[in-house]
Amino acid sequence: MIRASLVLSAIWWLAATAYGQPTFKAQVEGVRVDVMVVDGSRKPFRGLTPGDFDIRDNGVPQKVDVISFGEVPLSVTLAFDLSDSVAGDRLTQLQRSVHGLAEALESRDESAFLTFDSAVTLRCPMSANVTCVRTALDNVKPAGQTSLVDGAFAGMVVGESEVGRSLLMMFSDGMDTASYLPSRLLIDAARQSDVVAYGVTTGGTMPEFVEDLANVTGGRVLVAQKDADLSTTFRAVLDEFRYRYLVTYTPTGVAREGWHKLDVRVKRSGARVRARPGYQGR
């Protein structure tokens, strides 16, 4: 297990270099965009083809080369608040939820697990070893304050994947009280990352920067009404993410560098679309 001081050192180094080293898949060979398409009842909209997507990059229509649906392995990073307010029944429900998530992962998927309280600890690096994730949370003891920004940033770094689709699933029951990094840096780094961030809370609302993080990456924030709902809420996030479309196109008619505003639509009646609003080219 990598202790908090080492993780924080990595965070600071990565934060200092984040602006010059974007990791979003926006290279010459193509852009990858993770797109959620649902109907009015929030069920996945199945059976779409490349011709059903209308993508505009800085206002210029693009031709979709490839789409995939539920076919690409997942890289799932769990970033959990383990401050002192998580002790007791809430921790028990978190432990149950992780066991349920581990069972829902497929053999081709990978997972990682980190926790944050007054500092950040990487307990399981990204691998196919779900046993590590299962056992790690069973042996933690909540304590200290909440460094949510630091935990979210570390989760994005750990979750980057060149092969699979990257999901960051965060849990916190309160506000940030101990982070070193400013939330502005987290949002700027998210614009250059391929990770899709989802937030889960039992506290009623997440801090505004978590909503911003979800919006810029194309994710969502979900509220579990009670601790016992955490397991079904986490499973809902995983199921929703697995059945999103991964859309690839080769940019034409636009400059390679700079900020690219994305507009993603689907030419089907009743389809509701959610995707990141743009990416940083390089």
Tell me, yes or no, whether 144 and 177 share the same domain. Answer: yes
Tell me, yes or no, whether 163 and 34 share the same domain. Answer: no
Query: Has residue 19 been placed in a domain?
Result: no
Tell me, yes or no, whether 238 and 110 share the same domain. Answer: yes
Q: How many domains does the chain have?
A: 2
State the Cα–Cα distance between residues 102 and 255, nearest whole angstrom: 42
Question: pLDDT tens digits, residue range 126-185?
Answer: 999 999 998 999 999 999 999 999 999 999 999 887 667 999 999 998 899 999 999 999
Query: Is the CB of residue 202 less than 8 Å from the CB of residue 227?
Result: yes
Query: Has residue 201 been placed in a domain?
Result: yes
Give the three-class secondary structure for 61: strand
Query: Is the CB of residue 181 less than 8 Å from the CB of residue 165?
Result: no
Tell me, yes or no, whether 270 and 211 share the same domain. Answer: no
Q: CA distances (Å), 117 to each of 145, 244, 280, in order?
A: 5, 32, 31
Tell me, yes or no, whether 116 and 232 share the same domain. Answer: yes
Give the three-class secondary structure for 24: coil
List the strands of the sheet with 53-57, edge to edge: 60-62, 53-57, 258-266, 278-281
CATH of residue 223's domain is 3.40.50.410
Tell me, yes or no, whether 51 and 92 share the same domain. Answer: no
Tell me, yes or no, whether 132 and 210 share the same domain. Answer: yes
Q: Measured on CA atoms in the order 205, 208, 210, 215, is the torsion positive or negative?
A: positive
**According to DSSP H, which parts of the chain are helical?**
4-17, 89-104, 130-138, 148-159, 183-190, 208-217, 230-242
Query: Has residue 222 been placed in a domain?
Result: yes
pLDDT of residue 275: 96
Give the three-class secondary structure for 63: coil
pTM of the prediction? 0.89
Query: Has residue 14 been placed in a domain?
Result: no
Tell me, yes or no, whether 90 and 191 share the same domain. Answer: yes
Query: Has residue 11 been placed in a domain?
Result: no
Give the three-class secondary structure for 255: coil
- Block mean pLDDT (10 aa), the chain, length 282: 49 48 54 93 91 97 92 94 94 93 93 95 94 92 94 93 86 92 93 93 87 96 92 94 94 92 96 94 77
Tell me, yes or no, whether 215 and 112 share the same domain. Answer: yes
Query: Is the CB of residue 194 less than 8 Å from the CB of residue 32?
Result: yes
Tell me, yes or no, whether 217 and 116 share the same domain. Answer: yes
* Burial (CB count <10 Å: 0-12, 13-18, 19+), residue 17: exposed
Tell me, yes or no, whether 141 and 255 share the same domain. Answer: no
Range of the domain at 99: 72-242
Tell me, yes or no, whether 78 and 49 share the same domain. Answer: no
pLDDT of residue 20: 42
State the Cα–Cα distance between residues 77 and 171, nearest whole angstrom: 11
pLDDT of residue 280: 85
